[in-house]
Chain A
């Protein structure tokens, strides 16, 4: 089960499990992101390389235009995954 929502402030909230079978659902929202925004991981329990790849592609596109994603409320397992991937150097993680 995976859900993605975007509030009036532009913050994107992820919920559930972002695996390879759900990444197209997330991509539809991330493709709409054209400027810096916050991604709230508070209710995301799981992510794999499919989701990491989507975040990376979005970040690369935003950085190229002077913006970027801020990731908040990562659980310890997901935070460790970002470290292994070297994404803690690439994203602004609160």
Chain B
């Protein structure tokens, strides 16, 4: 077991494969997150383009949780599931205030450099690269859950 990863669960049945891991709430844990994703991608023979997308989506959501949920729980759960030609990624953070990424401002991507400001790109990239992004907040456990769905092209 990797030092930063508390657990990993894998199950497979009827065309469904899912893995889950818990990672330290630190930007430095990204290497462990990517290693976790790489194991899944290799096992599922996911193509290079989808693999790039999976890495990007998870990094953007994970780093958002680390940066914007200061004081949250010490672990963030990352799950990935394949159902035939669909991938579902889910990140869960606990002991946090609600923050709905769907409300994030869209950067003015058609503007020239003079009108552009740094920041706000991460969620825009995620929204542009996946089929669906769903946000759920459970007040009881102060738990935030972000689920994205991506259709595989082949």
Chain B residues near A76 (CB-CB < 8 A) = 49
A53 to B120, CA, bound (A): 9
A49 touches B125 (CB 8 A): yes
A46 to B37, CA, bound (A): 14
Max chain B C-beta neighbours (<10 A), residue from A19, A49, A50, A84: A49
Chain B residues near A85 (CB-CB < 8 A) = 107, 109, 121, 124-125
A86 touches B30 (CB 8 A): no
Chain A residues near B107 (CB-CB < 8 A) = 85-86
Interface size class of B (residues with CB under 8 A): 20 to 34
Chain B residues near A81 (CB-CB < 8 A) = 56, 125
* Chain A contacts with B in 75-94, Cβ cutoff 8 A: 76-77, 81, 84-86, 89-90
A94 to B112, CA, bound (A): 19
A48 touches B113 (CB 8 A): no
Q: Mark B79-123, 1 if CB is under 8 A from A, else 0.
A: 000000000000000000000000000011111110010110110
A19 to B57, CA, bound (A): 12
Any B CB within 8 A of the CB of A56: yes
Residue of A nearest to B48 (CB): A77
Residue of B nearest to A83 (CB): B109
Chain A residues near B112 (CB-CB < 8 A) = 89-90
Max chain A C-beta neighbours (<10 A), residue from B113, B116, B118: B113
Max chain B C-beta neighbours (<10 A), residue from A48, A84, A85: A48
Partner of A49, one of B27, B34, B60, B111: B60
Chain A residues near B119 (CB-CB < 8 A) = 53
